[in-house]
Amino acid sequence: MSWGVRDLDVRFGEHRALQGVTLETPNGRVTGVVGGDGAGKTTLLRCLVGALTPDAGQVRRPDSRRIGYLASSSGTYPDLSVEENLAFAAMAYGVPAAEARTRADEYLERAGLAAARDRLAGNLSGGMRQKLGVIRAMLHRPELLVLDEPTTGIDPVSRADLWWLIASAAAEGAAVVLATAYLDEAERASWLLVLNDGRTLAEGTPEQIAAGVPGTIRVSSRRPLDEAARRSWRRGATWRIWSPETARAESGTVRPDLHDAVTVAALADELDGGVERGDAA
Amino acid sequence: MIVKEFRQLRRDRRTLAMMIFLPILMLVVFGYAASFDVTTIRANVVGPQAERLAAVLPVPFEVEEVDPAGDRADAEMALRDGEVPVAFVTDPGGVTALLDGSELFIAKAAKASLSNLADQIPAGITSRVDVLFNEELETSAIMVPGLAAMILLFVGTVITSLGVVRERQAGTLEQLAVMPLGPWDVFLGKIAPYFVVAAIDMVVVIVAGVWLFDVPFRGSVLVLALGALLFLFVTLGIGVLISSVSQNQGQAIQLALMTLLPQVMLSGLIFPLSSMPGGVRWIGYVLPLTYFIQISRGVMLRGAPIDALWAPFLYIAILGAVVMGLATLRFRRSLAPGPPRRRREREPELQGAAR
Amino acid sequence: MTPLAQSVGVTRRFGHLVAVDGVNLQVNRGEVVGLLGANGAGKTTLIRMLLGLLPASDGHVRLFGLHPSRTTRRRIGYVPQGLGLYDDLTPDENLAFAQAAFGGQRGTLPPTLRPLAAVPVGRLPLGVQRRVAFAQALAHGPDLLVLDEPTSGVDPLARARLWETIRDAADAGAGALVTTHHMEEAEECDRLVIMADGRVVAEGTVAEIVGRARVVVVETEEWGRAFEAIEAAGLSAALVGRTLRVIDASVQDVERALGSLSAEISDAAATLEERFLELTVAAGSTEAA
């Protein structure tokens, strides 16, 4: 039985936060929801865990006892210690004390938090607090683990630790859903859903999405002008120019990676009459 | 800097409200309400000479009820039940004025008037003044029950609102909504500690008052406890409501103070209601604190039974039901599915992180 | 040519703690330098010294060849992680305040943001807020940009556009120092400086830093068990898709760890992130504060 959402529609007054979004989240796999700020990732995840009721569509999720959720705020109490935060979660989810302690010890140790057990969560650095949040969310061995941008703004060392925790949860058989704005992170998922303005821009494995770019991408060291400027973006010291119609591989073209694919998809959406990126009010 | 600060202030509606509201409140209070002077004193007159006495009783006394068939016991009961603050008992021996000591300022004013009038009473007729319920006319006797009320008010509104809004500030409210905890669990779990704290505080104050300050406790503990319970419903409910419209503790405190101050000033806690002009007095009659003070003073000082206090009990009970009902509704809604914040929260790293 | 910002042998101590240890860093005209490091690596302290907010215990800091001062501050455009905008003021009001404080011209909002100029910043989406913050920092024509995680949380297309603004400034002769935790952003910089434990542990282009570092790649259906086996052997496995990548280990190490588990084991070039982790762990950095 796999969890997920189908044809989800969510509206906040005039604003359509999600439109016809479908996502399956198989057990033992990490599914990624990718998009920038305002794309609808948080809304999608909130529907999935039952914090928000959609206007249309279906949600398949286990009972709240079998769900672990980390909201984009870290979900830890700043004036409780690391230990106390985990104790609260254990009690709320009905995890027997001994089991909770063992699991907590193991995860805290591996995540580098063991020395900070008695420290107040509010005094932890951002990375440590997020790690605590993830441990809290998976302490009760949930079947569905949903994490909303757990690694945004977190340093790479903490990020590696976090991904260890995520991998552990998937190894235990949980269906892990992760929202992220980072593509290099998205590449670590086994399935991706790319959102833009509440709509699905692309979906598939990272390889499938990269391979699915229509047309070709050319690299140039000179700023493209006029019409080409609307189809291009800068990356590093060069510009990448997308030609949607060309099918043949020409000189100077590159094989698109995930980054290119997502950028192209967003560009295509924009040229189709979507709103210019970053300006949506 | 100055321009920027003004612009920000302009948008901070709560601070603006406070800046306007507080001076107005102070003006009203100190202009109109803050007075210990009593202008009219309602009084019953009983006994065989009642009608004659009633005819000649001068200002400030205002005759409420004349009962020639009544006796001292009837008069005392009227005082105990809070019907009138003063009663005159006429008998063949003379006239006795009974003053309700729990209405401290009225009693003092009555006593002063009566000593002035003593000269006018014809010789041969004895006149006595008996102060009931607070014989020494001590201020502490009326303050302690008032304090007990204040504590329930303070813990209920200020402390509770801070505690509940803390959840919203920490961003954990959403987390709670998804946990296998029902809304009732969360709601009761949040307010129960404050309920207990308030109750303990109140008991401590009353016990200290009785032991250390010799404040009497003549009435039924159960009646007071019931009154306190109902009043706590009101104050806790207001506390939760305040937290439901506040994003952080600063805002919660502002609102809580704005509900607290008028009650302290205009509920009869310090300045007697009877000294306030009608236009201001009606504000007092709307405030819940006014009624609980009536209950606590009535029970502790006068030993009033519950049926005598039916009016304040009813008001508080209804208000409590309404406020609690609203509070639970709003609380449930904040836990239940709702729209997300429009912009992304600041990265968690920002909160006190060292990099 | 005088570097725009330079630290020479800069050290900063807080009591016994050495937060920054003998760091040499410079930012020249027209270049974008990325500063990477774990928490507690000393990035923030170094930046604060470069901005003149903190004195160095040893070594010296130069901005435009001079000591940090109020005058040099006028030539810097700084966007902190929190964007430094007042939430309850509109973009126009924020720009007006910055102009009054910094002198120079008032920043102009990009034309597409004009309709939002009267909305309090707190109610605008993050991408828009960032563009306002950028406009504010660039308004007085700074020679040096100091940007703290400039595109955190923003989608690729918007990120590319924000970086265009940074690049345009560099092309016009300014220099930029960018701190980031984010490999995609690091790859946008001309040059990277990696810090760990207060020291610089690597610097150069991405290619130079990654060098010849390799990782072991494990592909197997039973990745869960493989994961546990590798961890049990004291190695560090990271999950990517359905493959596992092990840093700081040889193919033989991994084969031994997996034992009889059937898997395809190969090696591959390390990514910047993996190389970064290797360097950080090697420097003995543990999670600070």
Four-residue CA torsion sign, C218, C224, C230, C236: positive
Residue C247 lies in a domain: yes
For residues A113 and A45, membership in a common domain is answered with: yes
The total of other beta-carbon atoms located within 10 Å of residue B250's CB is 13
Q: How confident is the model at residue B120 (pLDDT cuts 50, 70, 90)?
A: low
Residue A107 to residue A118: CA distance in whole angstroms: 15
- Whether residue C131 and residue A278 make contact (CB cut-off 8 A), yes or no, is yes
Weakest mean pLDDT among A20-24, B169-173, B194-198, C73-77: B169-173
For B186, the closest chain A residue by CA position comes to A92
Whichever domain contains C9, its CATH number is: 3.40.50.300
Residue A279 lies in a domain: no
pLDDT of residue B123: 56
Contact residues, chain A, for C36 at CB < 8 Å = 156
Mean pLDDT of B302-306: 89
Q: Which of B165, B172, B247 to mutate to test the interface with A (most CBs of A within 10 A)?
A: B172
- Whether residue C152 and residue B4 make contact (CB cut-off 8 A), yes or no, is no
Q: Which of B178, B248, B332, B344 to mutate to test the interface with A (most CBs of A within 10 A)?
A: B178
pLDDT of residue C106: 77
State the DSSP H helix or E strand holding residue B201, giving kind and residue range, or none if neither. Answer: helix B183-212
Q: Does B174 touch chain A (CB under 8 A)?
A: yes
Residue C238 lies in a domain: yes
Residue in A126, A188, A279 nearest the CB of C112: A279
Residue in B181, B345, B349 nearest the CB of A73: B345
- Whether residue A74 and residue B354 make contact (CB cut-off 8 A), yes or no, is no
Residue C278 lies in a domain: no
Residue C277 lies in a domain: no
The pLDDT of residue B352 is above 70: no
SS3 category, B69: coil
Weakest mean pLDDT among A63-72, A173-182, C241-250: C241-250
Q: Does A280 touch chain C (CB under 8 A)?
A: yes
Which subunits count as partners of chain A given 3+ CB pairs below 8 Å? B, C
Residue C260 lies in a domain: yes
Residue A103 lies in a domain: yes
Residue C261 to residue A237: CA distance in whole angstroms: 45
For B353, the closest chain A residue by CA position comes to A125
The total of other beta-carbon atoms located within 10 Å of residue B214's CB is 12
The pLDDT of residue A275 is above 70: no
pLDDT of residue A277: 45
Choosing from A186, A204, A222, the residue where a domain stops is A204
The pLDDT of residue B323 is above 90: yes
Number of domains in chain A: 2
Contact residues, chain C, for A238 at CB < 8 Å = none
For residues A33 and A68, membership in a common domain is answered with: yes
Q: Give C101→chain A minimum CA distance, Å.
A: 27
pLDDT, tens digit, for every residue of B80-107? 988 889 998 888 878 888 899 888 888 8
Q: Give A168→chain B minimum CA distance, Å.
A: 22
Residue C102 lies in a domain: yes
- Whether residue B354 and residue A125 make contact (CB cut-off 8 A), yes or no, is yes
Number of domains in chain C: 2
Contact residues, chain B, for C44 at CB < 8 Å = 354-355
Contact residues, chain C, for B11 at CB < 8 Å = 88-89, 120
Q: How confident is the model at residue A19 (pLDDT cuts 50, 70, 90)?
A: very high
Q: Which of C89, C94, C119, C285 to mutate to test the interface with B (most CBs of B within 10 A)?
A: C89
Whichever domain contains C224, its CATH number is: 3.30.70.860
SS3 category, C70: helix
Q: Give A12→chain B minimum CA distance, Å.
A: 7
pLDDT, tens digit, for every residue of C192-207? 999 988 899 999 998 8
Q: Give B259→chain A minimum CA distance, Å.
A: 28
Contact between B9 and B49 under an 8 Å Cβ cutoff? The reply is no
Residue A78 lies in a domain: yes
Q: Does C280 touch chain A (CB under 8 A)?
A: yes
The pLDDT of residue C149 is above 60: yes
For B2, the closest chain C residue by CA position comes to C97
Q: Give A78→chain B minimum CA distance, Å.
A: 7
> What are the structural domain ranges in chain B?
41-132, 139-335
Residue found by looking up tokens 């006595």 in the block: B128
Distances (CA, A) of B223 to A28, B57, B207: 61, 36, 16
Residue B72 to residue B66: CA distance in whole angstroms: 13
For residues A28 and A153, membership in a common domain is answered with: yes
Residue C289 lies in a domain: no
Choosing from A185, A204, A223, the residue where a domain stops is A204
Whichever domain contains A149, its CATH number is: 3.40.50.300
ipTM of predicted complex:
0.81
pLDDT of residue B137: 87
- Whether residue A171 and residue C187 make contact (CB cut-off 8 A), yes or no, is no
Choosing from A173, A204, A235, the residue where a domain stops is A204
Residue A278 lies in a domain: no
For A35, the closest chain C residue by CA position comes to C155
Choosing from C141, C174, C209, the residue where a domain stops is C209
- Whether residue B347 and residue C81 make contact (CB cut-off 8 A), yes or no, is yes
pLDDT of residue C258: 87
A245/C215: higher pLDDT: C215
| % of chain A residues with pLDDT over 70 | 94
pLDDT, tens digit, for every residue of A76-115? 888 899 999 999 999 999 999 999 999 999 999 888 899 9
Mean pLDDT of B316-335: 90
Mean pLDDT of B247-275: 88
- Whether residue B355 and residue C43 make contact (CB cut-off 8 A), yes or no, is yes
Q: What is the CA radius of gyration of chain B?
A: 25
For residues A216 and A257, membership in a common domain is answered with: yes
For residues C187 and C152, membership in a common domain is answered with: yes
For B167, the closest chain A residue by CA position comes to A77
Residue A277 lies in a domain: no
> What is this structure's pTM?
0.82
Q: Give C135→chain A minimum CA distance, Å.
A: 14
Q: Give B295→chain C minimum CA distance, Å.
A: 46
Count of residues making up chain B: 355
Which residues are CB-contacts of A172 (< 8 A; sequence separation ≥ 6)? Answer: A141, C224
Weakest mean pLDDT among B243-252, B266-275, B337-346: B337-346
> Considering chain C, what is the average pLDDT of its residues?
86
Mean pLDDT of C97-111: 79
For A93, the closest chain B residue by CA position comes to B180
Mean pLDDT of A56-84: 90
Query: Whole domain around residue C69: which residue ranges?
Result: 5-209
Q: Evaluate the omega torsion of the peptide bond into residue B60 and state whether it is cis, within 30 degrees of 0.
A: yes
Q: How confident is the model at residue B239 (pLDDT cuts 50, 70, 90)?
A: very high
For residues A188 and A127, membership in a common domain is answered with: yes
Query: Whole domain around residue A266: which residue ranges?
Result: 206-271
Which residues are CB-contacts of C89 (< 8 A; sequence separation ≥ 6)? Answer: B4, B7, B8, B11, C97, C120, C121
Query: Given 3-state DSSP classes, what are the helix, strand and coil percentages for chain B, each rounded to the nearest 5?
Result: 65, 10, 25
Q: How confident is the model at residue B38 (pLDDT cuts 50, 70, 90)?
A: confident
Contact residues, chain A, for C39 at CB < 8 Å = 125-127, 155, 157-158
Q: Does B247 touch chain C (CB under 8 A)?
A: no
> Considering chain B, what is the average pLDDT of its residues?
84
For residues A240 and A111, membership in a common domain is answered with: no
Distances (CA, A) of B316 to B61, B230, B289, B322: 31, 6, 9, 10
For residues C29 and C159, membership in a common domain is answered with: yes
SS (H, E, C) B27-51: HHHHHHHCCCCCCCEEEEEECCCHH
Q: Which of C97, C116, C119 to mutate to test the interface with B (most CBs of B within 10 A)?
A: C97
pLDDT, tens digit, for every residue of A205-219? 999 999 988 888 888
Mean pLDDT of C144-166: 86
Contact residues, chain C, for B250 at CB < 8 Å = none
For residues C205 and C218, membership in a common domain is answered with: no
Contact residues, chain C, for A188 at CB < 8 Å = 238-241
For residues A234 and A140, membership in a common domain is answered with: no
For C117, the closest chain A residue by CA position comes to A281
Mean pLDDT of B151-175: 86
